[in-house]
Structure 1
């Protein structure tokens, strides 16, 4: 999505929310490796069991607006990165209000997946509507001192490969056709079973029936449908911003090898 406003001053102090979740370790690792270095703060709840490197400042908050405003002010936050999971999508509006009250310049909402600016994606995956509402709220809060960026990446490849979210079973050596060659390179001498293609329409219908019964265990199948489904090509983005952001293309073989060898968070 387009960058919305020029920054008032360089970003030095970055606060992460949800750093102990699924995506947090990977994102935190990259921020800690930034050059020039950044001052990183993580917000956690008092009951959180998550641990972080000693170079990371940890501030506890109960996630009410006053508590968040105080935490962000104490961190002297220039930018706030939200990595919250599905239950926390709507609560990001409180994060946004607190960020503005604390003088935060830049907000990155918890997107990082399917393109929620595409109505067909939100129609297919209803719980993503909360993400879209957060972006619309950010638009309403734009100002000369507060801007935002929503990063649409598709599912995180290295994390999704590691946990099986993308349809690859590292333990059972089962894979769909995509990425199979890279997996075979990373596991020389081992045999992978190719799982036959699944009809996306049938999978979506079955998942929606389960959701209607209150079974949310297979909700991620809708994300897979949005990623792999060919009918509407929802997994294809109209343009990439790698060049604008100065990001090189990833190395598929290297990434797969590092995931297989346990070198990725």
Structure 2
């Protein structure tokens, strides 16, 4: 497979899309950000911006002309709009498509309650599998929780009340990635097109437990936090009840139970992690937590 040089990104101004775009630029790719005509998002000067009508196959095909790869960072609520985008990319000669996965490993979710919310993502990867050819391939990427972006949610911390939330024992290790680590993973995938073709990969900055995070916060701040114990079974029931009513805030309790429940097994092992394949090293937990605490004004 020839090297990938030109990369188009959709959703490049979002919480996960922005760091992916920045890491693609840093890795030396020629990056094009595709936006809606009404978008007011701004990008680095080195990034080409194209206004696209995402409902028009011809507009998409024109935007994808000359692109080697497309990275989708479309929000979860819009993931089911990707099939026409994939078709247009193939028609334009794009060689690699990275769907809007990231987060939860959706290959594990069919048949589960959280899987009902993530069914659109599952369907997109299934669709990509049907499009594999000598000229077109895909790579899915699971990154676990967005660590530096979501630490307040992960710990349920209340700095004023000096409390933290612990699900079950709090000892269960789970997969989590800093946002720029997600971007580095995407860049490395595109730097290694042959090794990553038609694969679903899982990466992580950390495989860590909530108790380990809380201990690190307490060491850095010199403060002891009271523990608010929560049952994963209660969270699962809360999420299921919300979802039954069409309330998609169900994702919060469901993803919390998914990751932190005792026996969840959402941490990566050397056998399930693609860090080594992509030349990625786990990051420094203490330094990440410290930077977050400084940002929060707590150090």
Aligned to 2:168: none
Match for residue 71 of structure 1 among 57, 60, 63: 63
Match for residue 8 of structure 2 among 11, 15, 36: 15
1:101-250 counterparts in 2 under 5 A? 101-119=91-109, 122-161=112-151, 164-169=152-157, 172=160, 174-176=163-165, 177-186=211-220, 188-189=221-222, 191=223, 193-234=225-266, 239-250=272-283
Cα distance in 2 between the residues matched to 1:56 and 1:99: 19
Residue 232 (structure 1) shift: 3.9
Q: Decide whether aligned partners of structure 1 residues 9 and 261 sit closer, same or farther in structure 2, where only a CA change above 3 A counts.
A: farther
The structure carrying a bigger strand percent of its residues is 2
Cα distance in 2 between the residues matched to 1:175 and 1:169: 4
Cα distance in 1 between the residues matched to 2:287 and 2:68: 33
Answer whether contact 1:114 1:235 (CA < 8 A) is retained: no
Cα distance in 1 between the residues matched to 2:18 and 2:164: 25
Answer whether contact 2:235 2:256 (CA < 8 A) is retained: no
Is 1:58 paired with 2:91? no
Residue 81 (structure 1) shift: 0.8
Answer whether contact 2:37 2:51 (CA < 8 A) is retained: yes
Task: Give RMSD over aligned pairs.
Answer: 2.3
The number of residues matched between the two structures is: 248
Residue 229 (structure 1) shift: 1.7
Unaligned runs of 5+ in 1: 1-7
Cα distance in 2 between the residues matched to 1:254 and 1:215: 37
SS in 2 for 1:31: helix
Q: Decide whether aligned partners of structure 1 residues 60 and 196 sit closer, same or farther in structure 2, where only a CA change above 3 A counts.
A: same
